Amino acid sequence: MPTYLHRKSEDRGRADHGWLKATHSFSFGNYYDPKIMGFRALRVINEDRIAGGGGFPTHPHDNMEIVTYILDGALEHRDSIGSGAVIRPGEAQRMSAGTGIRHSEFNASQTDPVHLLQIWLLPNSQGIAPGYEQKTLPQVADGVSRLDVIAAPEAPESAVTIHSDASISRAVLAPGGTLSAPVSRGHALVQVARGSLVVDGHALKQGDGLAVKDAAELALSSDEGAEALVFDLA
């Protein structure tokens, strides 16, 4: 029998640096709660809003799988292995920090904000080679509800490959739409990016997360329409 833990948007940690307004689903930076350190391999879900011209100067990471999902605007990425790209809505980016990588992330616009979700996953093994990948996701037609894998260890052509025992799917629900999301690894987390939806009878709004233990499938529905990320976690 599945068990559920609803983490409301307003209960998340928050940071306001002027150019950056960040919301943390799990302990991160100056926000620390030893009871909220992640869920299974999922260590970080940060919802960031970066003002025009703002961004993160070059900084290091190691032994983490980092996935970036843009909701609005565009983010410019540069790193120490020679990768450079602008990430926009409808794309997924994966950076494997591995043995060590340095990178910067800046709003690609000097005037318009960028709104994104950044996800950190614990890798299957330490010390892999650093890497970068970016893919364009399938288009979603108006009035259509669909579920697409955007990151997985054995990823489809339109998804990025992650070195973690987890997968991430994008769920887009049209107004009145329904979806069934299979859970192959036993545990799941749904993070609402836009709109509101119901997951197995639990009503969620934008910014809410629902962790589910011992699940085989999730039933999603939305009256107004929604966009969410669905994590399948071992």
Nearest to 113 by CA among 83, 151, 70: 70
Q: Which residues contact 81 (CB under 8 A, 6 or more apart)?
A: 101, 130, 131, 132
In this prediction, residue 100 carries a pLDDT of: 98
pLDDT in tens, 187-203: 999 999 999 999 999 99
Give the three-state DSSP class for 89: coil
Distances (CA, A) of 66 to 77, 153, 154, 228: 13, 13, 16, 18
Which CATH entry fits the domain spanning 146-233: 3.40.50.300, 3.10.580.10, 3.10.310.30, 2.60.120.10? 2.60.120.10
Low-confidence stretches of the chain (pLDDT < 50) are: none
CA-nearest of 71, 171, 72, 65 to 119 is 65
And the tokens for 21? 């307004």
pLDDT of residue 225: 98
DSSP code of residue 158: T
Instruction: List, by residue range, all CATH 2.60.120.10 domains of the chain.
Output: 13-136, 146-233
CATH number of 13-136: 2.60.120.10
pLDDT of residue 12: 98
Alpha helices in the chain (DSSP H): none
- Say what the pLDDT of residue 47 is: 98
d(CA 205, CA 227): 10
Handedness of CA 27, 31, 35, 36 (dihedral sign): negative
pLDDT at 153: 98
pLDDT of 45 = 98
Query: How confident is the model at residue 224, as a pLDDT?
Result: 98
**Tokens read off for 116:** 């994104």
Q: Which of 214, 232, 210, 73 is nearest to 153 (CA)?
A: 232
- Separation between Cα atoms, residue 162 and residue 65, nearest integer Å: 7
Six-digit token string for 115? 């709104």
The partner residues of 146 in beta bridges, in order of sequence, read 172
The pLDDT value given to residue 220:
98
